[in-house]
Chain A
Amino acid sequence: MDKSAQVATARSAPPDTTRPDGLPGSPERGTPRRALRRTRRDLSVRLGLMALPVAFFGLFFGYPVATIVGRGLREDGRWQLARAAEVVTSPDTVQVLWFTLWQAAASTALTLAIALPGAYVFARFDFPGKRLLRAVVTVPFVLPTVVVGSAFLGLLGRGGLLDDHFGVRLDTGVWAILLAHVFFNYAVVVRTVGGLWGQLDPRQEEAARVLGASRFAAWRRVTLPALAPAVAAGALMVFLFTFTSFGVIQILGGARYATLEVEIYRQTAQLLDLPTAAVLSLLQFAAVGGLLAVHAWTVRRREGALRLVDERHAARRPSGAGQWALLASQLVVIAVLLVGPLLVLVERSLAAPGGYGLDFYRALNAPVDAASTFVVPPLAAVGNSLSYAAVATLIAVTVGTLAAAALTHRAGPLVRGFDALLMLPLGVSAVTVGFGFLITLDEPPLDLRASWILVPLAQALVGVPFVVRTMLPVLRAVDDRLREAAAVLGASPLRAWREVDFPLVRRAMLVAAGFAFAVSLGEFGATVFIARADEPTLPVAVERLLGRAGELNYGQAMALSTILMLVCAVTLLALERVRTNRSGEF
């Protein structure tokens, strides 16, 4: 039994724990003077916690992005406002903006519809192979799109497996884009929503049922309000990812469809039309900022302290035909939509010229006659990827945890602004950040342009929002009176955090670390724009192989992708194990 969780529920268990806007134990309680003193101390602690994240984002995000956008908007020392207005009102821009918005909304709705039952299944049911499956469904999310896009078409596209056997096929087009977005983002919902759902005390819903509520009413009035912040967080992330979708749109949309992100990439990297790129970036900024504001507003209204329990006590074997059917249907969805394309990848890596075999894997290791600098031993590429991802995770978890700790109390516009700021990297194109690095980090002591650290830094920018988003709902669900009790008993803020918050959020922290790690592992956008000496990561090596004609290159690319997939799966699986072992010790 998780002792700390037990303590948490035993000591708190207020009657209003699940009221939608219930916020037991706000800092204002107690006598005014004491409260004031404590508020001041809280404020200084919070500012201290924010120092590192603010410096990190200021230096490696705000400064480069502002510089490159500024360079686009100013020419010869004057603001080019007429030019900007021209871009905003051009029919091309309006069309791109409209497509970006509606496909993101549709993708998010579809992903929630398909993945929420999945989140329930993973949170509440116990079945063999659950951990493995949870790791597997996350793999698409972290693989480079150029690889998975091709595998996805191999299953669902023209001449794909489903076309051959059942006549089901999706040519490139809107439906292919939407389904691919589900494929990529399924894990986001399962992990953000499922992570919290699994820790909600099922006895509360049961109590409501005993008191006469129907199953639906109990779910709607007890579970849903508690779950809402996590659903909102998950939906927000999916919306952000699909709003800024790049690879999927390029591969499946061709020239017919373009998102803002694709257009920004084209204007920056291909045409170097910085004014247009700057305006489009600002549009994307505004859209993402608006979205984050709405999100912050709804979350503030919904969050409350929750009873958190060990997931293993909440999950049980399915019982009854209904539950088995639900489990079975989710397994089918996962098999077809998520595992299928991955298996296509494995199949192709094994389809050697003379029948199935490990030829391509052997070719990866064989010395090549030309002894080219390009041919990185795959083990070295795996090593590069793991090292970069480890450093990126370390940065992301450090920065993200500090930020989440600072944001636990929701008071103040400062905090809200900071909260939104942390999410912005997800709404900014990798090419903007990469090109921004190029023109800002070019002077000593910060001439980092050729340094290896740029790669994990850029990866960490994308990882931090995950860490914050995953930890924040859980941190905020910790009953504040526990912290107050610790403070009253003489614990310093650090000690109180360590003894109260940390044990309760450890699991969320590991999930966050896992996500940050996996995202870094497959990260391709920023990695490809940052010039490095000969240290290609796995995705970069795969891309290089795919870019050349010849069976061996293609086969080796598939073999390397399979290795990347396995590394990701093993990493995620290991984190699943760590997670359970540790909560099982108490």
Chain B
Amino acid sequence: MKRRTNAVALVTALGVVGLTACGSGGGESDAEKKDVTLVTHQSFEVSRDVLKEFERESGYRVKVLRAGDAGAAVNQAVLSKGRPQGDVFFGVDNAMLSKALDEGVFAPHKTKGLHKVPDELRLDAGQNRVTPIDTGDVCVNFDRSYFRDKDIEPPSTLDDLVKPEYKDLLVVQNAATSSPGLSFLLATVGKYGEDGWQSYWKKLRSNGVAMVDGWEQAYNDRFTGSASGREKGDRPLVVSYASSPPAEVHYSEGKAPKEGPTGVAEGTCFRQIEFAGLLEGAGNTEGGKALLDFLLTEEFQEDLPLNMFVRPVHEDAELPEVFTRYGVEIDEPHNVAPERIAENRDRWVKQWTSLLK
């Protein structure tokens, strides 16, 4: 008898926990508010009060669906084109842009406030199917204390990285699976061109470049400049973001230091521009347009840096102090046009992989 009671208790317990789960997902209580759905990647973040303010003003309720990293999220949008998961997509970058546009994922919308965005970022200015929202520069970061102790000048350009004084110091990511890894490869393609990038990487390899899978392993485990890598890391140079030094300061405890523990090699950068667009076949087109307009407001643009550690595109948006004080502005990043990336990316990555094997 008792054994049955136990079984019943167990099943009931599981069921109750299960029902609690259902409860959190299916609530459709205030039906008078219309939903607008933002489809995006895992790293999307926004302050709750900023989003609430948009909901209050517009009368829409925002649902955020996150799926996978940036690449996977864009490809999911491509796969489900015409019958999208939501109304607006945020997070297609210049490496993926061409494919998304060619596939017809986005519908045109001239976002309010677009005139406040610098021309060089408006890569679809003719048709306005996508709107630039933020930029992030992928650059080599260096550990200040390492170079101070060794009394060497930290590198500042791609050419520097193959010099003997920086032998065995750099760690990069797998360009096949990691977004900063791919961007760094693109930086070298942009700088040395179709004919020169492979011989540059050969030199980099002879100079002892280390390669790991993702940003997490490179930055957290190998880079001596990160808090977690300070003791166990072995590489004072890492491919990361221009915004990593401000993040490093922002997410440390204690008083603001005079100088961040890490710095940026300004001549090694590739600019990632993130776009958003109205999804073709969206259920709530009006709401989608309102949400897109919101993404270019100063409120949202100024909220971006500390949530996603990217830079706003709106020229009036002010940067938080931690960015102006510990970050740098990259004036001339290396550049590759989206169409060229779309056409050659797979081949470049394959060639790169066989170079580094």
A interface, CB within 8 angstroms of B: 92, 146, 149-150, 153-154, 157-160, 172, 250-251, 253-256, 262, 265-266, 268-273, 348, 352-354, 359, 370-374, 383-384, 386-388, 390-391, 393-394, 431, 435, 438-439, 442, 449-453, 456, 503, 506, 528-535, 540, 543-544, 546-555, 578, 581-582, 585
Residues on B facing A (Cβ under 8 Å): 2-3, 6-7, 10-11, 14-15, 17-18, 20-22, 24-26, 37, 39, 42-43, 45-49, 51, 63-69, 71-72, 75-76, 78-80, 83, 85-86, 99, 174-177, 211-217, 219-221, 226-228, 231-234, 240-241, 244, 247-254, 303, 306-307, 309, 345-346, 350, 353, 356-357
Could you list 30 A-B pairs, sorted by A, with CB under 8 Å?
A149-B217, A150-B216, A154-B221, A159-B234, A250-B174, A253-B213, A255-B177, A270-B72, A270-B177, A271-B345, A359-B253, A373-B47, A390-B14, A435-B75, A438-B76, A450-B63, A456-B21, A528-B42, A528-B67, A528-B68, A530-B67, A531-B67, A533-B25, A533-B64, A533-B65, A535-B24, A549-B251, A551-B226, A552-B253, A581-B6
B217 touching A374 by the CB < 8 A rule? no
Determine the chain B residues whose CB is within 8 A of the CB of A549 once the complex forms. 219, 226, 240-241, 244, 247-248, 251, 309
Query: Which A residues are CB-close (under 8 A) to B175?
Result: 255
In the complex, residue of chain A having the shortest beta-carbon distance to the beta carbon of B245:
A549
> What is the minimal beta-carbon distance from B306 to any residue of chain A, in angstroms?
5
Q: Knowing A268-B75, A531-B65, A550-B247 are in contact, say whether A585-B2 is a contact too (CB < 8 A).
A: yes
Note all chain B residues with C-beta closer than 8 A to A359: 253
A-B complex: 8 closest residue pairs judged by Cβ atoms = A550-B251, A387-B21, A551-B227, A452-B25, A531-B67, A531-B65, A269-B72, A390-B17
A550 & B253 in contact (Cβ 8 Å cutoff): no
The smallest C-beta distance from B2 to any residue of chain A, in angstroms, reads 6
Which one of A146, A387, A435, A554 lies within 8 Å of B79 (CB-CB)? A435
Q: How far is the CA of A12 from the CA of B334 in the complex (A)?
A: 79
Enumerate chain A residues within 8 angstroms of B247, measured Cβ to Cβ: 548-550
Contacts of B221 in A (CB 8 A): 150, 153-154, 157
Contacts of B6 in A (CB 8 A): 578, 581-582
Residues of B within 8 A of A503 (CB): 3
Residues of B contacting A394 in the complex (Cβ-Cβ under 8 angstroms): 11, 14-15, 18
Asked if residues B227 and A550 are in contact (CB atoms below 8 Å), the reply is yes
Query: For the complex, what is the distance from the CA of A456 to the CA of B76, rounded to whole Å?
Result: 20
Set B45, B85, B251: member contacting A531, Cβ < 8 A: B85
Smallest CB separation, B186 vs chain A (Å)? 14
Interchain CA distance A272-B48 in the complex, whole Å: 33
A550 and B22 within 8 A (CB)? no
CB pair B65–A532 under 8 Å, yes or no, is: yes
Indicate if the CB atoms of B213 and A250 lie closer than 8 Å.
Answer: yes
Determine which of A370, A383, A384, A386 lies in contact with B47 in the assembled complex, contact meaning CB atoms within 8 Å.
Answer: A370
Contact indicator A372/B48 (Cβ below 8 Å): yes
Contact A387 to B45, CB < 8 A, known contacts A370-B307, A452-B26, A552-B251: no
Known: A387-B18, A529-B68, A582-B3. A450 touches B75 (CB 8 A): no
Chain A residues, CB < 8 A from B231: 159
Q: Are B252 and A551 in contact (CB under 8 A)?
A: yes
Q: When A159-B233, A372-B48, A552-B253 are in contact, do A540 and B42 touch as well, CB less than 8 Å?
A: yes
Q: Which listed residue, B25, B63, B248, B303, touches A550 by the CB 8 Å rule?
A: B248
Check B211–A544 contact: CB distance below 8 A: no
A150-B216, A158-B234, A353-B252 known; A372-B47 Cβ under 8 A:
yes
Residues of B within 8 A of A451 (CB): 25
A251→B217 contact, CB < 8 A = yes
Chain B residue at minimal CB-CB distance from A68: B79
Does the CB pair A250–B76 fall under 8 Å?
A: no
Chain B: minimal CB distance from A492 (Å): 18
Partner among B212, B254, B303 whose Cβ is within 8 Å of the Cβ of A353: B254
CB-CB under 8 A from B72, the residues of chain A are 269-270, 431, 529
**Complex interface: chain B residues within 8 A of A250 (CB):** 174, 177, 213-214
Rounded to whole angstroms, the CA-CA distance of A130 and B353 in the bound complex is: 47
Q: Are A435 and B76 in contact (CB under 8 A)?
A: yes
B251 and A371 contact, CB distance less than 8 A: no
A534 touches B64 (CB 8 A): yes
Give chain A nearest CB distance to B26 CB in angstroms.
7
Residue among B83, B254, B303 with most chain A CB within 10 A:
B83
With beta carbons under 8 angstroms apart, the residue of B22, B24, B213 that contacts A254 is B213
Given A549-B244, A550-B248: A272 touches B211 (CB 8 Å cut-off): no
B26 surroundings in chain A (CB, below 8 A): 452
Interface pair A255/B211, CB less than 8 Å apart: yes
CB-CB < 8 A to B76: which residues of A? Answer: 435, 438, 529, 531
Residue of A nearest to B216 (CB): A546
Q: Are B226 and A533 in contact (CB under 8 A)?
A: no
| Cα–Cα, bound, A415→B21 (Å) | 35
Q: Which residue from chain B places its CB closest to the CB of A581 in the assembled complex?
A: B6
Q: Are A450 and B65 in contact (CB under 8 A)?
A: yes
Further pairs besides A390-B21, A554-B227, A582-B6: 19, Cβ < 8 Å = A150-B216, A150-B221, A159-B234, A255-B174, A270-B177, A272-B79, A353-B253, A370-B306, A370-B307, A371-B48, A387-B20, A390-B14, A391-B18, A439-B79, A529-B68, A533-B65, A549-B241, A550-B252, A585-B3
A555–B229 alpha-carbon span in the complex (Å): 12
A371-B47, A506-B3, A547-B43 known; A254 vs B211 contact (CB < 8 Å): yes
Contacts of B353 in A (CB 8 A): 255
Chain A min CB distance to B15 (Å): 7
A172 in contact with B212 (CB, 8 Å): yes
- Which of A158, A352, A548, A550 has the most chain B CB within a 10 Å cutoff? A548
Q: Measured between alpha carbons, how far is A173 from B20 in the docked complex, in Å?
A: 44
Q: How far is the CB of A210 from chain B (nearest CB, A)?
A: 35
Q: How far is the CB of B65 from chain A (nearest CB, A)?
A: 4
Q: Which listed residue, B10, B45, B250, B346, touches A374 by the CB 8 Å rule?
A: B45
B80: which A residues are within 8 A, CB to CB?
438-439, 442, 449
- Provide the bound-state CA to CA distance between A352 and B227, in Å: 10
- Across the two chains, which residue of chain B brings its CB closest to A393? B14
- Please name the residue on chain B nearest to A353 by beta carbon: B253
